[in-house]
Amino acid sequence: MKTTAPKRVVIKLGTGVLTSGIGQLNTERIAALAAGVAGLRAAGTEVIVVSSGAVGLGMGRLGLKKKPADVSKKQACAAIGQSLLMQIWQRGFDPHGLTAAQVLLTHEDLRGRDRHLGVKACIEELIAYGTIPVINENDTVSAAEIKFGDNDTLSAMVASLTGAQHLLILSTAPGLIDMKGTGQIVPVVEKITPEIEAMAGGTTDITATGGMISKITAAKLAVRAGCGVFIASGAETDIIARLLGGTGPGTFFVPSGIPLDAKKRWIAYFQRPTGGIQINARAVPVLMDEGRSLLAIGVTGVTGSFSEGDIVNILAPDGKILARGVATFDSHQVKAIAGKTSDEVKPLYPGRKRFEVVHRDNLVLLT
């Protein structure tokens, strides 16, 4: 399929693409990928790189044969490998007169609205200076509660954050393979269905994380933001230009027709909800079909503990997550007003101007 030159792309590169064995750099491939990035920049396309490899490079420098199970040891590998990774990218960009700019992130950097906007502004400034932002998870300090989980997810968040037109996820996988059908690469996915998700599998690579499952999850996030996603092998010759020119082997995930606006993307994908609000069957079509706010009369209960202003899941009667939004009341208050009409709620909170449990402007549907 033929595509027009995008204004901005995010390119995610897996550890297996950049190395050939633990800590052994594939310098020829890195040079080729850097040349591909330079080609896009010369054509006027802005490029952001999300690069794995720091932990693997650190393992190689320390002579480790498998990824440590201990968190502090993984962090030590990342600390050693991160500087090596940036040196590699800068050497790759030097022949093209490009400057690499390191950006290390944790999930916490994108959760808080002020820090979220600060990261976005920093990346925009780096692009304006003509540099290539090279982004990686800050594994040196990341702990379970602030990790993205994998760089596929991180790349999708970066694509959403920066309004990229395309996300290229390049790894050792040639694309999404129809293992239960033809056994061939699925060239185009117009909608990510349960059948498409069933085609995904994990990874057995000792330096990698996630596999095709994480790539499908990342694609779901990115296409909702209006970003087209390619999954392809980073070992293919001139793969970046071929994918964007419509001739490269791989799988293309078609973006949603109506992308979420920036604030709703932040609510939907950059947060870890602190609790949930359960609703009754009558409230489901009010939210899903009519696009209205969630009122107390539609609430049946809460899960977890949350404060006013926290992000919460909105749960159908069967427990399925339907939506996500910003709570107007804390969990104790929501529990107390559940099932009440607005006229019954208003006397309980004199001075309040709004009585929606979750206002429609702060609510985003996930199904």
DSSP string across 146-204 = G--SSHHHHHHHHHHHHT-SEEEEEES--S-B-TTTTSSB--EESS--HHHHHT-----
Helices 212-224 and 151-162 pack at an angle, to 10 degrees, of 10
298 known member of a binding site: no
213 known member of a binding site: yes
Q: Count CB neighbours of 233 within 10 A.
A: 19
139 known member of a binding site: yes
147 known member of a binding site: no
155 known member of a binding site: no
52 known member of a binding site: yes
247 known member of a binding site: no
Helices 262-269 and 212-224 pack at an angle, to 10 degrees, of 150
Segment 306-312 long-range contacts (CB within 8 Å, at least 24 positions apart) = 306/273, 306/274, 306/275, 306/330, 306/331, 307/274, 307/331, 308/333, 310/273, 310/274, 310/275, 311/267, 311/271, 311/272, 311/273, 311/274, 312/273, 312/274, 312/275, 312/276, 312/277, 312/358
215 known member of a binding site: yes
196 known member of a binding site: no
209 known member of a binding site: yes
304 known member of a binding site: no
Which residues are part of a known binding site for substrate?
A: 52, 139, 151
Binding residue positions for ATP: 12, 209-215
* Feature table: binding site: 12, 52, 139, 151, 209-215
